[in-house]
Amino acid sequence: MISSTKHILIPTDFSACSRMALMYAGSIAEKTGAKITLLNIIEPPFNFPTNVEGVIDYLKENAEQHLESMEREFEKKFGGKNIKMKSQLRIGKPVSQIIEAIGDSKVDLVVMGSGTLESKRNLFYGSISSDIMLSSPVPVLAVPENAKDLKFENFLFTTNFRPGDFKNLLETANFATLFGSDIHMLHVAKEKDLETEIKFRGIKDLAKEEELLSKVNFELLIDSDIISGMSTFIDSKNISLLILNRYKKSVLESMLDENHTKKMRIYSKVPLLVLVGEK
């Protein structure tokens, strides 16, 4: 569970957004006592067939220098907080190596930067971070390159009333308690009908049983364009963290679609936490 995270993995390409991700991870580690692993993946340069080993050795040396630089930056902000950190280098394809590292190192949370320049398909999140969000067995916090304010103040938890959503709402409430954060639980529907009203009232009843009514603001929004509706809500409520539940078919996949991503430019400043829904 994210509120009791013990090991945070930070895949880094040494970009500005991955350095910001390290700061976000530090804030979480400060609250949970988690240790941090900085991970850099070196992808073999196949265009240097005659001297691959020499090139990889050079890349390793360069990566080690960058990792040391990030460790120094972290120490300036979190020195004295007793947060344990180590660095790791792996060689191979980034996505497969990150997923492997999650399992090998018993990682509870992945925090990574999400740049905007990696591919046309993923204008906002970037191809690697998008793939990790869609395939990681543990929660993923994606920090965009324009996220300048290091804060966890106002959470937006979105729901489509899937079976695993309420469990994740409970966990979100525990996580929010660590930072004294407010929570908005939002469902966006294309039209207001009886089924939507029943589900919305039902989740509020469950929240009442768990004594969450004082901790969560329940919002039902009617909008013909779900993604656009979410974007407008984020803007109006000054949201500092967006939380989505991931299923095989979910809003997350829609957000990563090129057409929808173009509507989501507002999210270029809002970190996204992806929680794993029930399979």
Alpha carbon separation from 62 to 12, 66, 86, 89 (Å, rounded) = 13, 7, 17, 11
Please check whether residue 136 is in contact with residue 147, taking contact to mean a CB–CB distance below 8 angstroms.
no
> 161 and 94, same structural domain?
no
Could you give the C-alpha distances from 164 to 63, 134, 210, 256, in angstroms and in order? 39, 16, 15, 21
Neighbours of 57 (CB within 10 A): 11
Whether residue 96 is found in the same domain as residue 52 = yes
- Asked if 148 contacts 117 with a C-beta cutoff of 8 angstroms, the reply is no
CATH at 244: 3.40.50.620
Residues 190 and 135 in one domain: no
At residue 25, the 3 state secondary structure works out as helix
Which pTM value belongs to this model?
0.88
One domain for residues 139 and 15: yes
Query: Taking the mean position of all CA atoms in its chain, how far away is CA 156?
Result: 13
How many domains, the chain?
2
Confidence (pLDDT) at 110: 97
Q: Give the bridge partners for 218, in sequence order.
A: 185
Residue with tokens 């991700």: 21
Confidence at residue 259, expressed as pLDDT on a 0 to 100 scale: 47
Token digits for 239? Answer: 């949201």
98 and 204: one domain? no
Q: How far apart (Å, rounded) are the C-alpha atoms in residues 97 and 75?
A: 27
C-alpha 240: how far from its chain's center?
A: 12
Q: Is residue 69 part of a domain?
A: yes
Q: Does 29 reside within a domain?
A: yes
pLDDT in tens, the chain (279 residues): 788 999 999 999 998 889 999 999 999 999 999 999 999 998 877 665 566 677 788 888 999 999 999 999 999 999 888 999 999 999 989 999 999 999 998 999 999 998 644 433 333 335 788 889 888 999 999 998 777 667 888 999 999 998 889 999 999 999 999 999 999 999 999 998 999 999 999 999 999 898 888 889 999 999 988 888 888 898 899 899 999 998 876 556 555 554 444 444 445 678 999 999 865
Among candidates 244, 167, 178, which has minimal Cα distance to 210? Answer: 167
Q: Is residue 189 part of a domain?
A: yes
Give CA–CA dist 266/131, Å, rounded.
21
What is the pLDDT at residue 158?
Answer: 93
pLDDT for 47 equals: 60
Q: Residue 186: beta bridge partners?
A: 158, 219
Q: Give the tens place of pLDDT for each residue, 88-119.
A: 999 989 999 999 999 998 999 999 998 644 43
CB 153, CB 181: distance < 8 Å: yes
How confident is the model at residue 229, as a pLDDT?
87
137 and 188 fall within a common domain: no
98 and 134 both lie in a single domain: yes
Radius of gyration, alpha carbons of the chain:
19
In this prediction, residue 120 carries a pLDDT of 36
Provide the domain limits for residue 214.
Answer: 154-270
The answer on 131 and 7 residing in a single domain is yes
Same structural domain, 117 and 198: no
User: Which amino acid type is present at position 24?
Assistant: Y
